[in-house]
Amino acid sequence: MEFIASKKDKLSKGHKKMAEFILEHSEDAAFMTAAQMGETLGISESTVVRFAAKVGLDGYPDLQDKLRDWTKNKLQTGTTPVFSDKTTESWGVIATVFQSDIQKIHDTLEGLNEEAFASAVDAILKAKHVYIVGLRNSAPLASFFHFYLNMLRRDVVLLDTTSSTEMFEQMIRIDEEDVFIGISFPRYSMRTLKAMEFARDRRAKVIAITDSVRSPITMYASISLLAQSELNGVADSLVAPFSLVNALIVAMCLKNPDQVKDELKNLEDVWSNYQVYTHDEINYLDKDVSLDPKTRRKYE
């Protein structure tokens, strides 16, 4: 990977495009055939094959093997952020981390399947019950999603347990009228995977929120929403996944504003009547749930 990065600017236009794709999407590139790579990048299959020789490898299969080894090592051990002497200073660290997160949000937006996103919004709104699971590093995402979704509609269940047996007991009545949302980022959770398999077997609509089409949880999902994350030796960056979940919540508000307004008004009445918050802490609701008019029209 370091060699490809060092030679990138000296390569031909087609090979440079391929080098950039491999550096930015190594996990996807590792499992693509030469024909698939060429179709994705708009270059010929022969150009793809010649690239392997350009970087000193024995053909395209050798390149795939190297990329798969790289991906496997990355998922097992994590990666450590590279900081220069300057970035070890406080402001340098802030700038480096923020810029990295901004890039992940940008890449997530560029790669997001708009049709899958819209289908997920419709499925969640129409479901009889919604089950959400996210364990380990994905637990904050699941909790955040449950907190706000529970304000927007009824019958939302957060599967929050360390026991696989208890998890299946909580979702034992799931059926084809329900939606199951599985959230998992490296390192992937086997309990989340098994719960999604159970939901699919019960014919529920299964939505996966994860980082890649190669994520194991996509195999049981009818809808997959992908957000860039980074597994490193310090902390997992989940900024882009949080933005994706937030976008789902906002889209649901715009799709069904009257119901949302009624639900939130009921909550406000409860808070006021039972003094859950003091009056100077309550943010009273506006008459309309609104965003930019262009954004509203998109989901109405």
Question: Among candidates 196, 164, 165, which has minimal Cα distance to 179?
Answer: 196
Q: Which domains does the chain have, with CATH numbers?
A: 2-77 (1.10.10.10), 112-254 (3.40.50.10490), 258-299 (no CATH)
b/e map of 196-206 (b: 16 or more CB within 10 Å)? bebbbebebbb
Give the tokens for residue 66: 């190297």
Cβ neighbours of residue 69 under 8 Å, at least 6 residues apart?
none
Helix 239-255 vs helix 257-273: crossing angle, to nearest 10: 100
**Side chain identity, residue 44:** S
Q: Give the other-Cβ count within 10 Å of 98's Cβ.
A: 11
Question: Among candidates 68, 67, 20, 61, which has minimal Cα distance to 40?
Answer: 20
Q: How many angstroms separate the Cα of 234 from the Cα of each of 81, 158, 185, 220? A: 8, 28, 15, 30
Bridge-based pairing state of the strands 205-210 and 179-183 = parallel
Query: What string of DSSP letters covers 163-188?
Result: -HHHHHHHTTT--TT-EEEEE--SSP
**Are 244 and 224 in contact, with CB atoms under 8 Å apart?**
no
Confidence (pTM):
0.61
Q: Quick one: DSSP state of residue 292? A: -
Give the tokens for residue 58: 């024995």
What is the Cα–Cα distance from 139 to 144, expressed in whole angstroms? 9
Give the tokens for residue 262: 């009624």
User: What does each of the 300 residues of the chain score in pLDDT, given as a tens digit?
Assistant: 778 888 778 888 888 888 888 887 777 787 788 888 888 888 888 888 888 888 888 888 888 888 877 766 655 444 444 444 444 455 566 777 787 788 888 888 888 888 999 999 999 999 999 999 998 888 999 999 998 888 888 888 898 766 667 788 888 899 999 999 999 988 788 888 888 999 999 999 999 999 888 888 888 899 999 998 875 555 678 899 999 999 999 888 888 777 666 666 666 665 566 555 555 554 555 555 555 555 555 555
**Are 192 and 220 in contact, with CB atoms under 8 Å apart?**
no
Q: Please identify which residue in the block is written with the tokens 């024909």.
A: 35
Estimate to the nearest angstrom the gap between the alpha carbon of 57 and the chain centroid. Answer: 33
What is the Cα–Cα distance from 183 to 20, expressed in whole angstroms? 29
What is the Cα–Cα distance from 93 to 90, expressed in whole angstroms? 5
